[in-house]
């Protein structure tokens, strides 16, 4: 229970920090759906999700440590893909 409360506090902290930094630096948030990369983003995200859903039954049979690495890998690939698409199609984002 304490871990969940800790995660919620960390999440609120990072969301607040992002909003504060965006306001201070004058950065407007842009959506990928307003760029030509909309189709690439949706297709890429769909492919990643389908591949990991196909691997999920195998990952469930593994021990807890391997299951954690499965989710860490999934989130790393998904967020890395999203960061690449933002870099490619939204030039103002860093």
What b/e sequence results for 7-46 when a residue is b if at least 16 CB atoms lie within 10 Å of its CB, and e otherwise?
eeeeeeeeeeeeeeeeeeeeeeeeebeebebeeebeebee
pTM of model > 0.75: no
d(CA 43, CA 57): 23
d(CA 22, CA 63): 41
For each of the chain's 94 residues, which pLDDT tens digit applies? Answer: 778 888 899 899 988 988 888 788 777 777 776 677 888 888 999 999 999 999 888 888 888 888 888 889 999 999 999 888 888 887 665 5
Q: Scan for tokens 């967020």, then name that residue.
A: 79
């Amino acid at each position: 229970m304490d871990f969940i409360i800790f995660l919620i506090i960390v999440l609120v902290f990072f969301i607040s920090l992002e909003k504060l930094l965006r306001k201070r630096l004058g950065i407007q948030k842009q959506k990928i759906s307003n760029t030509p990369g909309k189709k690439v983003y949706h297709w890429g995200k769909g492919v990643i999700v389908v591949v990991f859903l196909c691997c999920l039954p195998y990952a469930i049979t593994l021990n807890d440590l391997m299951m954690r690495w499965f989710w860490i890998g999934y989130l790393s690939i998904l967020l890395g893909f999203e960061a690449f698409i933002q870099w490619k199609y939204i030039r103002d984002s860093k």
